Amino acid sequence: MTKTPPLRVGITGGIGTGKSLVCKIFSVLGAPVYDADKRARQLMTEDEVLVRQIQEKFGKEAYTNGQLNRDYVSEVVFKDAARLSELNRLVHPRVAEDSRQWMAQQTHFPYAIKEAALLIESGAYKELDHLVVVTAPMALRTQRVLARDPFRTKEEIEKIISKQMPEEEKIKLADSLIYNNETSLVIPQVLKLHERFIHFVKE
């Protein structure tokens, strides 16, 4: 008997919207979750092809003792929009391939989740069956990040948000929305989607 691949669900949202919280709830409900951002950091050290590409593009200094030199990358790459785009062009295809292999293995589950901050920007959402966007008001997002990252200023956080894809653009592409605004309860919204996903039948 051929095992059926799971419904491929993508979850994304800007900084401070709470997409990681939403994914934790799905995980508690039994759904496997692929954390693309965390996996990208692992692949930048473990994937020999990617490591070689990064060294060729940004120099041998990008690694120290086999580990990514985060100070160097932060200073040389992350502060330069053009170089950051170059890095993303190297990393995203490797993460995409890794996530495809992972997703294909989740045959024991009715659905599986890919969580990524740049799910839409990278184009990876096009390979998924259902896109969930987690949304929250700007002021609340800023407040959450301030509480989480006390080393950042309000101005820095607002600058980060301003550089991300506008929420209204993400919402236009969403199949479902989860409102994490402290007035709409999150768990019932997740439960409703969970029930929908486990009973979804692929055509």
Question: Which residues of the chain have a pLDDT value below 70?
Answer: 1-3, 201-203
Cα 164 to Cα 62: distance, rounded to the nearest angstrom: 25
DSSP for 12-51, please give it.
Answer: E--TTS-HHHHHHHHHHTT--EEEHHHHHHHHHHH-HHHH
Give me the sign of the Cα torsion angle 48, 51, 55, 57.
positive
* Alpha carbon of residue 165 to chain centroid: 13
Cα 138 to Cα 147: distance, rounded to the nearest angstrom: 14
Quote the pLDDT of residue 45.
Answer: 94
Cα 201 to Cα 203: distance, rounded to the nearest angstrom: 6
Where are the domains positioned within the chain?
Answer: 1-32+109-203, 37-105
Cα 96 to Cα 172: distance, rounded to the nearest angstrom: 23
Give me the sign of the Cα torsion angle 164, 169, 175, 181.
positive
- Token readout for 18 is 């709470």
Q: State whether CATH 3.40.50.300 applies to domain 1-32+109-203.
A: yes
Quote the pLDDT of residue 3.
Answer: 67
Quote the pLDDT of residue 1.
Answer: 40
Predicted structure pTM score: 0.89
Cβ pair 179, 135 in contact under 8 A: yes
